[in-house]
Structure 1
Amino acid sequence: MDRNTDKNWEAHPYSDAVEMLIPAEGIEIYVFAGPKPVNAIERFNLLSGGGCLPPRWGLGFTQRVHRLYTADQVKQEAKAFEEKGYPLDFIGLEPGWQTKSYPCTFEWDRSRFPDPAGFVKDMDQMGVKINLWTNPYVSPDASIYKTIAPYTGSHTVWNGIVPDLSMPQARKILFDQFEKEHLKIGVSGYKIDEVDGFDSYLWPDVATFPSGHSSEQIRQTYGLLVQKHSFEMFRRNNMRTYGLVRASNAGGAPFPYVIYNDNYSHEDFITALINSGYAGVLWTPEVRASKTAEEWLRRFQTVCFSPMAMINAWSSSMQPWTFPEVAPQIKALAELRMRMMPYWYSEFAKYHYNGTPPFRGMNLEEGFGINMKKEKTATNLEENPYEEAVTREVKDQYMAGKYLLVAPLFTGQITRKVILPKGKWYDFYTGKLAGDGEVITVTPGLDQIPVFVKDGGIIPMMPALLHAPRAGAKTDIEIRHYGEKNASYDLYDDDGETFAYEKGAFSWRTIKVERQGGQLKGTISSTEKGKPNTVGNVTWRFMTE
């Protein structure tokens, strides 16, 4: 190309050459190839052990309550959800549930929770699980302090000693305490805080650990170690879990944890959700406080199309109905999250068995960017002779499962552009054609987050229950089809709570939509004898007339 005359000239043209410079000897390199970009990520996830398969209730709605709530206040919060008709599957208790936190004892504060086992049982009877906040740094007042001290690092974090979790002795002491105090009374999972950061938040590079591993090695893998060994504890008890973690790393896909942090930019949350998919892990754009009803609703819209639908009210005490002017829209979104559970659950099963990220960037979608006009940036060669016209990084829309494209709006936005990959795409809410491999502009109003379905999209849905179905419960499903194409979809089923699926107690049912005599007809395959079947009556809805 001639830079002077060719408008498509680029200083960095595409090349299929790859150069790797390895700064040390003795390094093993794994190269994951396609043929498609998403295949490389799938293979990486499968080598790591496959993506996590949460319990069904993990894909429902969760509320994290104020850090100083008592057992009675938590019960009242759950009761308010039920009375007002808002779905709720698990509640997160923040630091005040412990006798001391920063550093932690991991023991119940009996002044706030006088009967922890009775409290967890009462909550379970209401259909609500309990998740506990903690970090792993041990208080001098913890009952395990003296026993675990020989297996901890030379420096403290939050004034607590740091268990060397690369040592089986430290792991046994810590997680035996968790199992005795928490799991055995029915606690469903954890929010593991403050295992991220660098040497001003964790331990410095000069810290030493009894295992002999360097401080940097322990720091880089600490989030993984906590996830791995807490997950194994739940596996021993045949209870699936789903929680939150402040840091992960390569190979974290199998662990049932969603990453979060204290950044609170809504736009950055969506970028993080997208980028996490490239690394094989999950991210939640959680809702905390909001200054306006508009911001509250826009943030809530995105968590309902994310790995974990969560309000984190650890400080604000906010609830879904805090802004009455948008409470009906919030309730409708929470109900939509529940109605879509068969779709979300099947997509997470494909994450586990196939390695496919359930939430992922547009660059991984087949047909994205093909035969489309590139968006150009304005160039001023006088100010910068090296400025190029480039395709903008797409970090404000993403794929959710096999068929859905989600394009959030942020506070103050009324319209936005959406880049549709090759082929026809349809409005999720109406079934009407939205565009055909083009850039469209949408003005959805405040009530809706723009969502589009590719031609032939099949979305299985269920009634808007207040809680996820329990193991063995049958649920009616409505199967939606969008567009004109024949299509098929794999619907996953198991008991939703235990690890029986690892021993073959699961099923895939094939949903097909085919045109017969000018009309679309749907079928669903029968279940295999002896395999799980939680599907009740099946109805069909062809969204595109």
Structure 2
Amino acid sequence: MNRILKCIACLTLLLFCTRLSAQEIKWELVAPGVWKGSVGKPESYNLLVAAGAKPAVEELKTAGDAEFPLSKDEIVAKLTDGKTYLRFPLDKKEQLYGFGLNFQTVHQRGKILQLHVDHYGGKDNGRTHAPTPFYVSSNGYGVFINSARYLNIYAGSAVKRDGKNVPEAKDRNTDKSWSSRPYSDGVEVLVPAEGVEFYVFAGPKPLDAVRRYNLLNGGGVLPPRWGLGFTQRVKTLYTAADVEAEVKAFEDKGFPLDFIGLEPGWQSKAYPCTFEWDKGRYPEPAKFVNSLLNKGIRVNLWTNPYVSPQASIYNSIKPFTGDHTVWLGAVPDLTMPQARDILFGQLKKSQVDIGVSGYKFDEVDGYDHYLWPDVTLFPSGHSAEQMRQTYGLLIQKYSADLYHARNQRTYGLVRASNGGGAALPYVIYNDYYNHEDFITALINSGFAGVLWTPEARASKSEEEWLRRMQSVVFSPMAMINAWSTGTKPWSYPNVEKQVKDIALLRMQMMPYWYSEFAKYHFEGTPPFRAMNLEEGFQTEVKKEMKTTNLEENPYAEAVSKEVKDQYMAGEYLLVAPMFTGKATRTVILPKGKWFDFYTGEYAGDGEVITVTPGLDKIPVYVKDGGIIPMGPALMHAPKPSDKLDLEIRYYGSKPGKYMLYDDDGETFDYEKGAYSFRTINVVKAANGKLKASISAAEKGKPNTLNKVTFRAMTK
């Protein structure tokens, strides 16, 4: 009997080992501080392929050499049930950030997620607009899983029986330190494919790992200058005359405006779409678009990619679409050149060629009840799952290519993105509308390689409207999305002046914003990012227990204290938004002296301060030695031929240095070297006088500067 039992045990073990087999990881150094690991047979279609990402090779070299940040022996890969299992080690005190565009949490350790492109449904469970499979460790490294599949993530949430650092089992009855979530020493990933490639990024600091990840994507997007101006989206059924009247109102009231967004009513039919102008509302599209261009206003068009049976391109594109529809519209298989040629050929002919400057691509994310199901078959042979994970990337890439071919930059909106998309010129938005969560999303966007806008639509009070507008100005896109409400910047008369002031501040700060986006492109530094990436920022590693009825939730756990309501904006600014109904707030200042952005007054040094800014201001602080280049309060972004005065504001007393970027602001000539970084240096002498300089313009390089003055903000 014992011999039989032993045979059964051996057979069971053999079957288990056959089903769960360890795999050798093939390593390749692809750039300084960046390693690619390959396991099994990685699928040829992945996120980097879909995004068309081309690594910024020279910039990655500039990032410098670094040692492999983990123990390779502790990175495990196995194949099981046709799936690939990966495990990465974790230290006990390590915190994790990333895993996509989350809206309510910054700390991700202990989470169980399925990374799945979808609308945001109110929970950070992995289903979101950009479920980027990239995470960053507080220990200063990053990991990216390059798979276009739904990934199951166990971010330090599951304890292996025979793990390296298995915690002691405790008696809940008598030991108050018992935890329902015992410490786990690994990040585990399940990929539904028989192989995968992944990347490990060295630091030494977390921000260095983020930079390397963005540079592997090709570097962050560099928008046109006008894209960083102010944008207004008009009501759905506006006519050409309505739009022109709204543009005139902006001019009459002295509000800046750079591009205006037309919603579904510009098309003859939408949901699904024809991609053709409605001749009743827009009888002369080319004349309309050019009339606005002559006034310095660009046109951005809403669309989704689902083709109406009444569209002129329907019959030709039908063979290259999926076998399920969205709102009865055909779903183009954008991995096929035939489908792309037809769809984007229509956009080019009907819109781009007459001067339309960009798009808002809607509904490429979710809901499950209207998007194509996972049983959908696409003619390319790519699965419905792969298409779901990459459709946002595909629509961004191939629309951006239309503009690149014209040597004309664009900047638009999209509902979905993913890993590999950092270089694509789109900002994510959604239908959710929680101000606090919008700021958390802005913070997390810096870990996800995407841009996010905390747009304003309408508000229940004038206070809420002003607070939302203040946040919008300190974000990647200063936008009012009034497709439903028709809201204008001046719709709340009691705060009209404050809204105008903050909109004009956005325009004054354009030299700073433009330079910070250039650093995103050339260095990989996210222009908007978490405090956790800022040098000298520390929070106590305390855990807090929210008031909980243990009878209702017997496994309630204390959670790590997060900072999710303040963020860094560019090299020098700390932004701490105010929310409706709150007259005061606390701000955590990193180590080093910080100064009030508006007055230059000293605010604190590595401490927690409580501020009461009043309704007129959003709290903003500048680090010691900070330099903020400011331009005039223009109504529209400057043209390539414009020469503008520059006021360089300096804060504190520490010697300051800033790299000011310049190019023509509209074309891709910077890719051929037609750009410059001019060095600004400021030193404050003992007598309080400034010794300041800006390097001379390089011969043959763009130079949009006229008179330059320096201003000491700290007296």
Tell me which of 344, 350, 368 is aligned to 1:181. Answer: 350
User: Are 2:545 and 2:559, in contact at CA under 8 Å, matched by a contact in 1?
Assistant: no
Alignment-mate amino acid for residue 523 of structure 1: S
State the Cα distance separating 1:26 from its structure 2 match: 1.7
Partner in structure 2 of residue 458 of structure 1: 627
Partner in structure 1 of residue 274 of structure 2: 105
Structure 1 residues 434 and 138: CA distance shift in structure 2, 3 A? same
Distance in 2 separating the partners of 1:149 and 1:315: 32
State the Cα distance separating 1:252 from its structure 2 match: 1.0
Partner in structure 1 of residue 16 of structure 2: none
User: Are 1:342 and 1:460, in contact at CA under 8 Å, matched by a contact in 2?
Assistant: yes
Tell me which of 459, 474, 488 is aligned to 1:290. Answer: 459
**Quick one: higher RCO (CA 8 Å, sep 6+), 1 or 2?**
1
1:229-267: CA deviation from partner (whole Å, max 9, x where unpaired): 000111001110000001111111100100000001111
Partner in structure 2 of residue 540 of structure 1: 710
Alignment-mate amino acid for residue 146 of structure 1: N
Distance in 2 separating the partners of 1:287 and 1:375: 34
Partner in structure 2 of residue 274 of structure 1: 443
Mapping of residues 325-344 of structure 1, within 5 Å:
325-344=494-513
State the Cα distance separating 1:445 from its structure 2 match: 0.8
1:271-296: CA deviation from partner (whole Å, max 9, x where unpaired): 11111110111000000011111111
Tell me which of 460, 463, 474 is aligned to 2:643. Answer: 474
Mapping of residues 487-498 of structure 1, within 5 Å:
487-498=656-667
Partner in structure 2 of residue 442 of structure 1: 611
Tell me which of 418, 423, 444 is aligned to 2:592. Answer: 423
State the Cα distance separating 1:377 from its structure 2 match: 2.5
- SS at structure 2 position matched to 1:333: helix
Tell me which of 579, 582, 607 is aligned to 1:413. Answer: 582
- SS at structure 1 position matched to 2:444: helix
Alignment-mate amino acid for residue 543 of structure 1: M
- SS at structure 2 position matched to 1:466: coil
- SS at structure 2 position matched to 1:166: coil
Partner in structure 2 of residue 6 of structure 1: none
Partner in structure 1 of residue 373 of structure 2: 204
- SS at structure 2 position matched to 1:156: strand
State the Cα distance separating 1:459 from its structure 2 match: 0.3
Distance in 1 separating the partners of 2:201 and 2:269: 46
1:354-379: CA deviation from partner (whole Å, max 9, x where unpaired): 1110000111111110xx65565358
Distance in 2 separating the partners of 1:162 and 1:506: 40
Partner in structure 1 of residue 150 of structure 2: none
- SS at structure 2 position matched to 1:368: coil
Q: Is residue 2:544 matched to residue 1:377?
A: yes
Tell me which of 57, 61, 72 is aligned to 2:226. Answer: 57
State the Cα distance separating 1:517 from its structure 2 match: 5.3
Q: Is residue 2:413 matched to residue 1:261?
A: no
Structure 1 residues 22 and 387: CA distance shift in structure 2, 3 A? closer
Alignment-mate amino acid for residue 544 of structure 2: T
Distance in 1 separating the partners of 2:288 and 2:599: 44
Mapping of residues 524-535 of structure 1, within 5 Å:
524-535=694-705
1:403-442: CA deviation from partner (whole Å, max 9, x where unpaired): 0011011111111111111111111011001111011111
State the Cα distance separating 1:472 from its structure 2 match: 2.1
State the Cα distance separating 1:514 from its structure 2 match: 1.4
1:284-311: CA deviation from partner (whole Å, max 9, x where unpaired): 0000011111111011000000000000
Distance in 2 separating the partners of 1:51 and 1:359: 12
Partner in structure 2 of residue 304 of structure 1: 473
State the Cα distance separating 1:201 from its structure 2 match: 2.5
User: Are 1:380 and 1:387, in contact at CA under 8 Å, matched by a contact in 2?
Assistant: no
- SS at structure 2 position matched to 1:239: coil
Tell me which of 331, 336, 349 is aligned to 1:167. Answer: 336
Partner in structure 1 of residue 236 of structure 2: 67
Partner in structure 2 of residue 116 of structure 1: 285
State the Cα distance separating 1:515 from its structure 2 match: 3.1
Distance in 1 separating the partners of 2:548 and 2:488: 52
State the Cα distance separating 1:389 from its structure 2 match: 6.2
Structure 1 residues 260 and 464: CA distance shift in structure 2, 3 A? same
- SS at structure 1 position matched to 2:246: helix
User: Are 1:306 and 1:359, in contact at CA under 8 Å, matched by a contact in 2?
Assistant: yes
User: Are 1:10 and 1:388, in contact at CA under 8 Å, matched by a contact in 2?
Assistant: no
Gaps of 5+ in 1: 4-8
Distance in 1 separating the partners of 2:708 and 2:546: 56
Distance in 1 separating the partners of 2:554 and 2:431: 39
RMSD: 2.1
- SS at structure 2 position matched to 1:107: coil
- SS at structure 2 position matched to 1:295: helix
Structure 1 residues 378 and 215: CA distance shift in structure 2, 3 A? closer
Partner in structure 1 of residue 65 of structure 2: none
Distance in 2 separating the partners of 1:448 and 1:347: 22
Tell me which of 45, 49, 57 is aligned to 2:214. Answer: 45
User: Are 1:199 and 1:205, in contact at CA under 8 Å, matched by a contact in 2?
Assistant: no
User: Are 2:325 and 2:331, in contact at CA under 8 Å, matched by a contact in 1?
Assistant: yes
For normalisation by structure 1, the TM-score amounts to: 0.95
Alignment-mate amino acid for residue 103 of structure 1: P
- SS at structure 2 position matched to 1:154: strand
- SS at structure 1 position matched to 2:247: helix
1:141-200: CA deviation from partner (whole Å, max 9, x where unpaired): 111111101100001102200000000110011111111111111000000000001532
Q: Which runs of 4+ in 1 moved over 2 A?
A: 9-15, 17-25, 372-391, 515-520
Distance in 2 separating the partners of 1:441 and 1:259: 32
Alignment-mate amino acid for residue 26 of structure 1: G
Distance in 2 separating the partners of 1:303 and 1:496: 22
Gaps of 5+ in 2: 1-91, 93-167, 171-176
State the Cα distance separating 1:394 from its structure 2 match: 1.0
State the Cα distance separating 1:520 from its structure 2 match: 2.6
Distance in 2 separating the partners of 1:499 and 1:472: 16
1:456-499: CA deviation from partner (whole Å, max 9, x where unpaired): 11000001000000112111110001111001000000000011
Alignment-mate amino acid for residue 692 of structure 2: G
Distance in 1 separating the partners of 2:673 and 2:413: 28
1:313-358: CA deviation from partner (whole Å, max 9, x where unpaired): 1011110001110000000000000000000000000000111100
Distance in 2 separating the partners of 1:487 and 1:194: 45
Structure 1 residues 380 and 498: CA distance shift in structure 2, 3 A? closer
Tell me which of 400, 416, 424 is aligned to 1:231. Answer: 400
Distance in 1 separating the partners of 2:246 and 2:228: 20
Identity of aligned residues (%): 68
Tell me which of 122, 146, 155 is aligned to 2:324. Answer: 155
User: Are 2:473 and 2:502, in contact at CA under 8 Å, matched by a contact in 1?
Assistant: yes
Matched residue count: 537
Alignment-mate amino acid for residue 142 of structure 1: A
Alignment-mate amino acid for residue 532 of structure 1: P
Distance in 1 separating the partners of 2:546 and 2:640: 59
Distance in 1 separating the partners of 2:462 and 2:486: 16
Distance in 2 separating the partners of 1:362 and 1:93: 36
Distance in 2 separating the partners of 1:538 and 1:115: 44
More strand by share: 2
Structure 1 residues 181 and 10: CA distance shift in structure 2, 3 A? farther
Partner in structure 1 of residue 138 of structure 2: none
Distance in 2 separating the partners of 1:380 and 1:88: 47
User: Are 1:244 and 1:260, in contact at CA under 8 Å, matched by a contact in 2?
Assistant: yes
Q: Larger radius of gyration, structure 1 or 2? A: 2
Alignment-mate amino acid for residue 431 of structure 1: G
